[in-house]
Amino acid sequence: MNFTIQNVLIAAVDDYATVDVQVVDGAIAAIAPSLEVVGTPINGKNKLLLPGFFNAHTHSSEMWQRGVIPPLPLELWLAHLYDFAPLDIEKVYLSALGTAVETLLSGGTSVVDHLVLIPGQELETIATAVRAYKEVGIRAFVSPLIQDESLTAGIPSGESEQNHEPYFRPTQATLELMEEAVRQFHRPDEGISILVAPTGIQLCSDALFEGCIELSNQYNLCRHSHLLETKAQEKLAQEKYGCTAVEHLKRIGYLSDRTSLAHCVHLSDTDITILAETKSTVVHNPLSNLRLGSGIAPILKYRQAGVNVTFGCDGASSNDSQDLLEAIKIGSLLHNVTDLDYQQWITCRQAVEMASLGGAKGLNMADKLGSLTVGKEADLVLYDLTKLSLLPRTDPIGLLVLGRPTNVVESVWVNGKQIVADGKVTTIDVDELQQQLFNHSQWDTNRKSQSVREIETHYRAVMGLS
C-alpha cells in the first residue's frame, strides 16, 4: 500500500523540517514539502516521524519470568532463570508476540531475538518465533541461542578444581541444526533473518564459534554473541585463553562488520581498539547491566574510538521490560556520570541515530534501513506530539529521548506496511494476547532456586565476596 504522510516534522541538521513523505512499494520515494499525494494521505500535523529503532538484543521467552528473579548477578541470576524455565511452544509463541508488541509501541521496528531453544524442539521453537514475528509484522533477526558447555562452566574456577557436566547436545549437531534453521527460515527479503549466535565465550568452544563463522560466510549471515557482560567473564577469559575474550575472538575470526556483541562491559582499551578495527558493533543493554550489577559499559569510550553502538532491552527478566525508549534514555544518560566533561555526553539526536542507523549498521543493513533516506525501506514510526508526556512543546526529540513517553507511538510501518494505527497494533489482537499471557501464568512470588543455593558458595569465593 502506498501512502503519503503530510506536514510531518522530521529531524533536519540541528533543527526540524515540516515535510511530506511519500512511500511507494515499501520504500521511501520522496521527502520534501508539498509533495503530490501518492496513495493514502496520512495527516502528519503535530507528529514527529523517525526511522524505526532496533531492539538489538533480547531473549523473548524471558518475558515469562519478568519481575520475579531477585537481585542477583548474572551467573546466579542465570541459574535462577533456568530453574524456573519450563518453556513450551505456546509460551514461545506468546512471549514473541509480547516482545514484538512492546518493542513496536516504544518505537522499535526491528528485534534481534537471541532465542532460547527448547531442548528437543529446537527447530519448532525457531519456527514458532518466526511465525509470531510474521504475524505481528515486525522485522525480526532470529538468533538461536546456542552453546556447547554446561551452565557451571561459565563461572571462573579460581584456585579450585571444577568438574562440569558435558552439554547435552554435541557441537556438530548444534551446527547442523543451525544450518537447517537457515535453510528453512532465513528470508531477509520477507523480513526474517537468521543470525549465528553462540551465547558467548563463557559457554562455547572454539569449535562452535568456528562452525558459526563458516555458516556466516557460506550463507551471508550476521553474527551475534554476548561479550564480557560481567567481571566473572573477564576472569574466565583469562583462565580459558590467557588473554582477553576480545583478543581471542579476533584471533579465531569472529569479529567483523556484521558482528554485533551484546553488553561489552568489561573491555580494555586494547579491546576497544580491536572492536573499532574489526568494525564490530556494541549492543548496549543499560537496564540489564544495572539490574544484574554487571557494570556501566564504557560507551563514551566506544564512541570516541569510532565503535558503532546501538541499544537493546535484553531479555525481559533482566530489565524487566521491553520498552526501547527506556533503554535509549538510560543508555544515553548513564554515561554522564563516567566523564566530567559534558562535551563528551551523548545528545538526544545522537541517541536516536544510535538506536536507528546504529542498529542497521550492526546488522549489515545500513544501506536499506536506519534513516529517513529516499530509497531506503519504509520502517517508520510516527509519534503523536500532543500527548501529555510530550508536552509542553519544546524539542520533540528531546522530549522523546529524555522524557518518559507514554502512549505516544501513533503509527508504525515496516517495509511500508502499517502495523500500528491510532496507537494500536493492527495485525494481532492485543487484548487476546493479554488474556493468554494471564491464563498461562499465575502469581508466583516466593521462588527459591535450588541451583543458586548449589553454586552460590563457590561464586562468592571466586568473586571475593565474604
**CB count, 10 Å around CB of 76?**
23
Question: Quick one: 161 or 342, whose CB is closer to its own copies?
Answer: 342
Q: What are phi and psi of 279, to 5 degrees?
A: 60, 30
Compute the least distance from the CB of residue 464 to its own copies, in Å: 8
Rounded to whole angstroms, the Cα distance separating 70 from 76 reads: 10
458 is a site residue for its own copies (CB under 8 A): no
Query: Which residues lie below 8 Å from residue 379, measured CB to CB, with a gap of 6+?
Result: 51, 52, 109, 110, 139, 369, 413, 414, 415
- Give the single-character DSSP code of 116: P
Question: Quick one: 218 or 389, whose CB is closer to its own copies?
Answer: 389
102 is a site residue for its own copies (CB under 8 A): yes
* The only residue of 214, 252, 403, 421 in contact with its own copies, by rule CB under 8 A: 403
**CB count, 10 Å around CB of 253?**
14
Q: How far apart are the two ends of the chain, measured CA to CA in Å?
A: 63
Is the Cβ–Cβ distance between 24 and 1 less than 8 Å? no
All three cell numbers of 128: 514458532
Q: What are phi and psi of 324, to 5 degrees?
A: -70, -35
Of residues 220 through 249, those in contact with its own copies by CB under 8 A are 231
* The only residue of 16, 214, 268, 373 in contact with its own copies, by rule CB under 8 A: 16
Question: Quick one: 72 or 369, whose CB is closer to its own copies?
Answer: 72
Q: What are phi and psi of 363, to 5 degrees?
A: -110, 20
- Give the single-character DSSP code of 270: H
Compute the least distance from the CB of residue 99 to its own copies, in Å: 11
269 is a site residue for its own copies (CB under 8 A): no
* The only residue of 71, 86, 242, 375 in contact with its own copies, by rule CB under 8 A: 71
> Per-residue DSSP letters for 282-342?
EEE-HHHHHHTT-----HHHHHHHT-EEEE----GGGTS---HHHHHHHHHHGGGGT-S-G
Question: Quick one: 187 or 447, whose CB is closer to its own copies?
Answer: 447
Compute the least distance from the CB of residue 136 to its own copies, in Å: 13
Of residues 277 through 336, those in contact with its own copies by CB under 8 A are 287, 289-296, 319-323, 326, 330, 333-334, 336
Question: Quick one: 34 or 445, whose CB is closer to its own copies?
Answer: 445
Stretch that binds its own copies, among 28-36, 125-133, 374-382, 457-465 (CB under 8 A): 457-465
64 is a site residue for its own copies (CB under 8 A): yes
33 is a site residue for its own copies (CB under 8 A): no
Q: How many residues bind its own copies (CB under 8 A)?
A: 83
All three cell numbers of 90: 505456546
**CB count, 10 Å around CB of 82?**
12
Rounded to whole angstroms, the Cα distance separating 354 from 261 reads: 15
Beta-bridge mates of residue 223: 196, 259
Compute the least distance from the CB of residue 410 to its own copies, in Å: 15
Site string for its own copies, 426-455 (x = CB under 8 A): ----x--xx--xx-xxxxxxx---------
76 is a site residue for its own copies (CB under 8 A): yes
Stretch that binds its own copies, among 71-79, 198-206, 255-263, 277-285 (CB under 8 A): 71-79
374 is a site residue for its own copies (CB under 8 A): no
Stretch that binds its own copies, among 168-176, 195-203, 235-243, 384-392 (CB under 8 A): 384-392
Compute the least distance from the CB of residue 293 to its own copies, in Å: 3
70 is a site residue for its own copies (CB under 8 A): yes
Closest Cα partner for 113 from 314, 364, 299, 385?
314
Pairing of strands 139-144, 192-194: parallel
Pairing of strands 27-32, 15-24: antiparallel
* The only residue of 41, 67, 166, 306 in contact with its own copies, by rule CB under 8 A: 67
129 is a site residue for its own copies (CB under 8 A): no
Compute the least distance from the CB of residue 408 to its own copies, in Å: 11
* The only residue of 391, 432, 453, 454 in contact with its own copies, by rule CB under 8 A: 391
Of residues 157 through 196, those in contact with its own copies by CB under 8 A are none
395 is a site residue for its own copies (CB under 8 A): yes
* The only residue of 340, 375, 422, 450 in contact with its own copies, by rule CB under 8 A: 340
Closest Cα partner for 56 from 308, 299, 291?
308
Pairing of strands 192-194, 223-227: unpaired
Question: Quick one: 201 or 401, whose CB is closer to its own copies?
Answer: 401
Question: Quick one: 34 or 446, whose CB is closer to its own copies?
Answer: 446
* The only residue of 44, 52, 98, 107 in contact with its own copies, by rule CB under 8 A: 98
* The only residue of 27, 210, 339, 458 in contact with its own copies, by rule CB under 8 A: 339
> Per-residue DSSP letters for 181-207?
HHHHH-BGGGTEEE-B-B--TTT--HH
